[in-house]
Amino acid sequence: MVDERTFDDRDGFIWFDGKLVPWREANVHILTHAMHYASAVFEGQRAYDGTIFKLSEHSARLRNSAAILGYDLPWSVAEIDAACNETLAANGLTDAYVRPIAWRGSEQMGVSAQKTKPHLAVAAWVWGKYFDPDLAARGIRLDIAEWRRPAPYTAPTASKASGLYMIATMSKHRAEDRGYNDALMFDWRGQVAEATGANAFFIRDGVIHTPTPDCFLDGITRRTVIDLAQKRGIDVVQRTIWPEELETFQQMFLTGSAAEVTHVGSAGPWNFEVGDLSRQLASDYDNLVNGRAINR
């Protein structure tokens, strides 16, 4: 069942700067720097049967994202891991989405932020499949976004920073308004990049191709799926992919902590089949995160 309550009005607890507080009391001031100048970084991770998948990798990336934006978190990877696990347990959850977020506080207002204090919070809630399972089994439909991923010399593209998702939201809204499920984004050069919140993979003649992540996140799920494919002896090529090449691929799928492994039926004018190889990788990933054996 989908929880229809707004995210500010729920039961439970949120870990906030070192302690659990009631969900409705986890608030920040209106003049918080991150709200005005996008100085927040975050992670999205899933717990399966009480275990948060790749937790320490997520916590390390959170610290690195903050460092890229110019501030250091006083919490170690182990302390962030502990906060995530404490939040999961306090809310009585085993299968859930977990959201750590760090931000600059309200000690200083303006573009300069040297006097601001870093904060950290962790929330967790029940969140089912990112896309409708029946739809995803057939392959979702992607629009082609008008917005493009920026060059790494114009934005901190290696950071999972909140500000970088503004164009993702705009692109996803436009896609949904036009009857699509999500959007495929190109980069500033016109090369294929990713979806609005997930990495992209393509299959041709049994070989997997995926864009080089030089201006978008090298996702943790992305790396996991590449490893799963290589353990099956499947070639994975990370390279430049131009839009005109998309018509030559037979299959396409997306990867992400929220999206997991999602089949794609079409992206703009290009159509794909949901084939055995993408189904196999989706099954392998599902078995891995749920602690089941992977048959090879």
In this prediction, residue 182 carries a pLDDT of 98
Look up the pTM and report it: 0.95
Backbone angle region of 137, left / alpha / beta, with phi > 0 → left and psi within -120 to 50 → alpha: alpha
**Dihedral in degrees, nearest 10, Cα atoms 224, 230, 235, 239:** 30
In this prediction, residue 229 carries a pLDDT of 98
In this prediction, residue 207 carries a pLDDT of 98
Question: 133-289 — its CATH code?
Answer: 3.20.10.10
- Catalytic residue (one of 19, 117, 129, 160): 160
**Would residue 160 show up in a list of annotated catalytic residues for this protein?**
yes
In this prediction, residue 13 carries a pLDDT of 98
**Dihedral in degrees, nearest 10, Cα atoms 237, 243, 245, 249:** 70
Question: 13-125 — its CATH code?
Answer: 3.30.470.10
Residues of the chain with CATH 3.20.10.10: 133-289
In this prediction, residue 2 carries a pLDDT of 59
DSSP state of 247: G
- Encode the chain (296 residues) as per-residue pLDDT tens digits: 557 789 999 999 999 999 999 999 999 999 999 999 999 999 999 999 999 999 999 999 999 999 999 999 999 999 999 999 999 999 999 999 999 999 999 999 999 999 999 999 999 999 999 999 999 989 999 999 999 999 999 999 999 999 999 999 999 999 999 999 999 999 999 999 999 999 999 999 999 999 999 999 999 999 999 999 999 999 999 999 999 999 999 999 999 999 999 999 999 999 999 999 999 999 999 999 999 988 77
Residues of the chain with CATH 3.30.470.10: 13-125
Q: What angle do CA 256, 262, 266 make, to 5 degrees?
A: 120
